[in-house]
Structure 1
Amino acid sequence: MRPRLAVAATSAALVLASTALTACSENTGDTGDSDNGGGKQFTSSIATDPKDSQGPAAEVAGAKSGGTLKVIQEEDFEHLDPQRTYTFFGMSIQQMFLRTLTVFKEDGNGKVLLVGDLAEDAGKDVNKDCKTWEYRLKDGVKFEDGTPIKAADVAYGIARSFEESIDGGPTYIQEWLADNSTYNSTYKGPYTSGTDTVPGLTLKDDRTLVFSFAKPHCDLPFALSLPTSVPVPKAKDTKTEYDRAVVSSGPYKVKEYVKDTRFVLERNPNWDPKTDPLRHNYPDSIEVEIGPNDQAATERALAGQGADSAAVAWDEVPQALVNQVLGDTSLGERVLRKTAPSVWYLSINNERIKDVKVRQAIAYAIDKQGLLATQGGDASGKVTHTLLADTTIGQTNYPNPYDGGPTGNPEKAKELLAGQKPKLVFMSRNSAFGQQTAPIVEQSLEKAGFDVTVQYVDQPAHNPAARTRGNPYDIYLSNWAADWPSAVSTVPVLWDGRKLGPKGNSNVSYFNADDVNAEIDRVSNLPAGEAGPEWAKLDQTIMEKYVPVVPIYQDNTFLVTGAKVGGLLISDQFGTPVFYNSYVKP
């Protein structure tokens, strides 16, 4: 899933408690880390009782209406267009003004339940074979202008996700409907194909959508919680400019958006809480201030002066302030730390770096602990050497033969290079994160004999550049968190080379191996209870045989808020802040 900046001390191992991720599935685990709010048993499951999908959401104890909740973030949104959104920051904020067919509902104490959001329930598996699914919209769901949301609006949003002239969002549903990893080879989206009729998606009536697949896709209820299923009114679709004019379906609507400066939400009077099982609209408004770096944002939230008393510093606590924050016991609930399912990689462009020995040398050379130290050290994460986060069903901590240890092994790298001095172009974000991490990458590789050129790219352009095939960069830092606990939302997304297209690639290492692709097909068709260990074996095979990326560290969310912020949750599912219970204290 979506890039983020976050941080982790230890993470939870999820254990599958049933044989498949279907409507009766449940994953259970123990976070095992009392410093991170761990030691709690948590569960992740799909609701089978339609009452769980009904609103209104239970009131938050002590919550008051009024005030402005402030979020401070260094970089602007990559996209606000829902079908192009695939970052934690974008999706977290969007949750307050956009709705999806399904949504994860959390209680803050470890219970994660997938329920119907716009839909009456989490979905009907019509023939009990996961090939035909039916979703019926709730009565009373409306856009911000009071127009009822119809099944055709959801279908049109999904049609937009196929459009080859826009890029950026998740592609699960498109690939499953098309039964093809190059999903827009036949249907290219409403603008290019001239029709918004999506193969495999039909409308039974104004409120009912039917998804028909050639193969079983028991994870569809999970996938529909992603912004692919956000409804878009066709008459108000401004195509590539929809970022600037998104139509609300949630409790807030867009009041103002000044690029690189601020984004402001105000209450949507046509949102009906009786239809919403998740959200509240306690603050009068939500304002995102764009620009201050992680240190400035954290210092302002700690000081809590004026409007900053109700501020959330979205970017993680920087290294310079870690000891201060951890040592100040008076901060109490203003400090939020929780395990995240996110792994940072040094992605290697395999279409440029074709020699596996060079990739192995890169893997040996990287100072992982040095990179983690720039983000807060052990308080902020743990070094890793596996592709899968340890929150993934079946993940194993196998010995990686090309792991240089926490601080790297430049001598082993030099042995592999055998006197060569390969040139590498490293694309780094032009942000606090990029300025902190780029020197570590550069120094690690140069110690091993590489000739490294660092090119800084502004944050909003970084990910689109990495996702563009044929980009001029050899290496770049990327990260990923599974969209749900199964590796089906990691391995096929990041390392199936058949999915590669001109733009919008999640496989930013541009890795493509026939044996891996065949194994992805085999494991994808197994029940989740059987698939978990097989995904773990494939993780090991990819790293031992190909080294397409270098896993660096798994991170945690670690942030602070002003004293007047109440109800802020760190999602157990994604390890990021969510705002649907938030309020401003008097």
Structure 2
Amino acid sequence: MTVTIRSRRTALAAATALALTVTAAACSGKAGGSGGSRDGRAGSTTGAGKTSYHLTADTGTPKGDVDSFTWSLFAEPPSIDYTQAFDYPPNQVLANVCESLLRWNPDLTTSPGLATAWQNPDSKTWVFTIRDGVRFHDGTTLTADDVVASLSRNMDPDAASVWANQYRNVDKIEKTGPLQVTVHLKSPDSTFLEYMAASPGTVESAATLTADGKDYGGPAKGVNCTGPFSFGSWQPGQSIVLKRFDGYWDPSLKAHSKQVKFVFIVDPTARVNAFQTGEVDGGWMIPPGSFSQLASNVSFGKSTMVADEVVANLSGPLGDPRVRQALLMATDRKGIIDAGDGGVGEIADSLVSADNWSNAPEAEKKAGTTGLPSYPYDKAKAKALAQQAGVHGQEVVIATSPLDTQTTIITQAIAQACTDIGLTPKIDTIAADKYTALFTDPAARKGVDLFLTFWYTSITDPLDMYASLETGAFSNYGGYSNKDFDAAFEQAVGSYDPAARAQATGKAQQIALTELPWLPLYDEPVSVYQGPKITGVKPSIDYLYYPWAAEIGAR
């Protein structure tokens, strides 16, 4: 499944997920449309260790409460400060402790959260009605002042929020009533409301933010929010413990467990062993190589993740769109899915999943998910296309980090594709911390032509991903620039009409998929393991912002 200001899905999320193994969740309607029923568990194992899978909307209602359960994280969060929550480990903890104005649900719709209602009286104003009677974990009552302080922090340069880009169109945020907050925009922004269901909409106690200062979100202080669990303790290098909050406002999500203990297990083999021995009761993002051996306890769900090769150098041999098209056409993506993901996934025709189009009118949804530029596997055609561009023999540097077989398989497949179209691949194997720097430091990308990311969106909207390709965007890692793309993107962001917005988004998508500044490889569903003692989770990428742990109880 990341530090300064960045434009949508800082890929530290992706980088860490890549570096520390594990794929999942930053897109995939393709997987969502893979067939089969939407209930039940992972399914059966087929030949060659491949898993026959289907998506699961619900794993069942718990038979009762439990005293506690243990959950694995593939890395220790650097912080659980919501302004820094841009990666799988911190977000899946924070989702159970803190809440946003809106709630992102397992079916990827949004509903009221800490805001009971909102109005858009004009194109540059959002008015939120704050839920009455909500208490923070320290017993104090939620007010409009807390909301103003929490949202405004994303605009404070000293906070260096990773979500600052989502506030780029905000002029000011003010309290306009005891339980009312008004956001004034500089220009219309159709995505702002959607982000209020993710980390950018998180609400914390204003008093806590002031009192904790720079210690906020760290092991010593934790956080003080309104979710179904409160922060208990954090033992650096080992675990984070959350405790059930009995004063939680929403009875439908009262936690079934008195406690959740998150343990940090970096090594994928150790994680799988911990599942099998019962040392750990569950975890998201199951190492793909273990799908078959854990099949009876693994479920798959909706995802907005797409595995991509990012073109980091558009002035080298990959600067010609024909070469990028040829490279994608020469990549055996089905082979990657079978060998690296146990057959769990679908070849991606887009940089976003079909689920990202769920909110669009039916006609525009169809246009956004069908008839896209297609690059079927054809080595001969790909080689001929590359020859037209005259890049034969030129070197392409592929950065990678050798910490899981999945990544190794993808890297080798991309290198083979380079060879097949006449390029000379050079694999640059670097340490995990240096790989992470590819997403945050332009200097780290110098001399690199390609690198892998697992990119997911945090809202049900293609614009969340395509923001990364706008000229000058922080996460526009290759410096891609196309004035027609930018115009279509800005038109989409500024439009509140669903049909017009989707049409403009579709135009931007067509440009991106023709020019391929990023190469889409495959979609992969969310994977989750629940041991024999627990059940109740609803498998979905929304686990990054939804209080999923509250639904887990006794099997």
TM-score between both structures, scaled by the size of structure 2: 0.78
CA contact (8 A) 2:240 2:263 kept: yes
Partner of 1:494: 468
Which of 454, 467, 482 in structure 1 is aligned with 2:457? 482
CA distance in 2, matches of 1:223, 1:539: 21
Aligned to 2:119: 124
Tell whether the 8 Å contact from 2:323 to 2:386 is kept in structure 1 after alignment: no
Counterpart of 2:35 (choices 33, 36, 39) is 33
How far residue 83 of structure 1 moved from its aligned partner, in angstroms, is 0.9
The question of whether the paired residues in 2 share the 8 Å contact of 1:423 and 1:450 is answered with yes
One-letter amino acid of the structure 1 residue matched with residue 332 of structure 2:
D
In 2, Cα distance between equivalents of 1:316 and 1:372: 15
2:223 is the counterpart of 1:247: yes
Partner residue in 2 for 1:159? 152
Contact preservation (8 Å) 1:123, 1:135? yes
Work out the CA distance in 2 between the residues paired with 1:224 and 1:529.
22
Bigger RCO (CA 8 Å, 6+ sep): 2
The residue aligned with 2:337 is 372
Contact between 1:304 and 1:562, CA under 8 Å: does it hold in 2?
no
Contact 1:294–1:318, Cα closer than 8 Å, also in 2: no
| Structure 2 counterpart of 1:256, from 220, 233, 254 | 233
Amino acid at match of 2:298: V
Q: Which runs of 5+ in 2 are unaligned?
A: 1-8, 41-59, 358-364
Question: 1:455 corresponds to which letter in structure 2?
Answer: T
1:201 aligns to what SS in structure 2? Answer: strand
User: Quick one: structure 1 residues 154 and 470, their matched pair in 2 at CA, closer, same or farther if it must change by over 3 Å?
Assistant: farther
Residues 36/79 of structure 1: CA separation in 2 closer, same or farther (3 Å cut): farther
| Contact 1:427–1:454 (CA under 8 A) maintained in structure 2 | yes
1:389 and 1:93, CA in 2 relative to 1: closer, same or farther beyond 3 A? same
Separation of aligned partners in 2, 1:479 and 1:408: 28
- 1:130 and 1:236 map into 2 onto residues whose CA distance is 36
Q: Distance in 2 between matches of 1:11 and 1:36?
A: 15
Following TM superposition, by how much is the alpha carbon of 1:81 offset from its aligned partner in structure 2, in angstroms? 1.5
1:324: how far off? 3.8
With 382-391 and 424-433 compared, the bigger mean Cα shift is at 424-433
Instruction: Answer yes or no: is 1:389 the counterpart of 2:385.
Output: no
Q: How many residues align?
A: 497
Partner of 1:26: none
Alignment partners' CA distance in 2, 1:101 and 1:576: 11
CA RMSD after TM alignment: 3.5
Once the two structures are overlaid, the 10-residue window that deviates more, 152-161 or 352-361, is 352-361
> Aligned partners of 1:455 and 1:167: how far apart in 2?
30
Q: Look up the SS of the partner of 1:484 in the other structure.
A: coil
Tell me if the contact between 1:158 and 1:228 (Cα under 8 Å) persists in the aligned partners. yes
Q: 2:105 & 2:252 partners in 1: Cα distance?
A: 6
Q: Say whether the 8 Å CA contact 1:570–1:578 is kept in structure 2.
A: no
Query: 1:521: how far off?
Result: 1.8
Report the AA paired with residue 449 of structure 2: D
User: SS where residue 104 of structure 2 aligns?
Assistant: strand
User: What whole-Å deviation, never above 9, does each CA across 1:195-252 have from its counterpart, x for those lacking one?
Assistant: xxxx321112453211112433444432111112223433234338644433221232
CA contact (8 A) 1:102 1:114 kept: yes
Contact 1:428 1:476 in 2 (8 A): no
Matched to 1:246, the amino acid is G
Post-superposition Cα deviations, 1:418-467, rounded to whole Å, max 9, x if no partner, equal 433224141437456544543333444345422323233326x7445413
Task: Tell me by how many angstroms 1:468 deviates.
Answer: 3.0
The SS at the match of 2:519 is strand
SS in 1 for 2:356: coil
Shift of 1:391: 1.9
Structure 1 counterpart of 2:244, from 267, 291, 316: 267
| 1:3-42 residue CA offsets vs partner (Å, 9 max, x unmatched) | 464469x96589xxxxxxxxxxxxxxx957225549xxxx
In 1, are the aligned partners of 2:307 and 2:522 still within 8 Å (CA)? yes
8 Å CA contact 1:82–1:230 kept in 2: the answer is yes
Residues 226-305 of structure 1: pairs in structure 2 closer than 5 A: 226-232=198-204, 233-239=208-214, 242-244=217-219, 245-249=221-225, 250-268=227-245, 272-273=247-248, 275-276=249-250, 279-301=253-275, 303-305=276-278
Are the counterparts in 1 of residues 104 and 545 from structure 2 also a CA contact under 8 Å?
A: no
In 2, are the aligned partners of 1:84 and 1:161 still within 8 Å (CA)?
no
Contact 2:86–2:162, Cα closer than 8 Å, also in 1? yes
Q: Is the 8 A contact 1:346 1:475 kept in 2?
A: yes
The one-letter amino acid of 1:585's match is A
CA distance in 1, matches of 2:424, 2:215: 40
The equivalences for 1:185-584 within 5 A come to 199-232=171-204, 233-239=208-214, 242-244=217-219, 245-249=221-225, 250-268=227-245, 272-273=247-248, 275-276=249-250, 279-301=253-275, 303-305=276-278, 307-308=279-280, 311-319=281-289, 321-326=290-295, 331=296, 334-350=297-313, 353=316, 355-356=319-320, 357-378=322-343, 380-393=344-357, 394=365, 395-398=368-371, 400=373, 403=375, 405=377, 411-412=383-384, 415=387, 416-428=389-401, 430=403, 433-448=406-421, 449-458=423-432, 462-463=435-436, 465-472=438-445, 473-491=448-466, 493-498=467-472, 500=473, 505-526=474-495, 527-544=497-514, 546-571=515-540, 579-584=548-553
Which residue type is aligned with residue 336 of structure 1?
S
Q: Residues 97-120 of structure 1, C-alpha deviation per residue, up to 9 Å, x if partnerless?
A: 1111111345xxx5x65233222x
Distance in 1 separating the partners of 2:398 and 2:28? 33
Question: What corresponds to 2:360 in structure 1?
Answer: none
Asked whether the 8 Å contact 1:141–1:149 carries over to 2, the reply is yes
1:98-117 alignment to 2 at 5 Å? Answer: 98-106=98-106, 113-117=109-113
SS at 2:304's partner residue?
A: strand
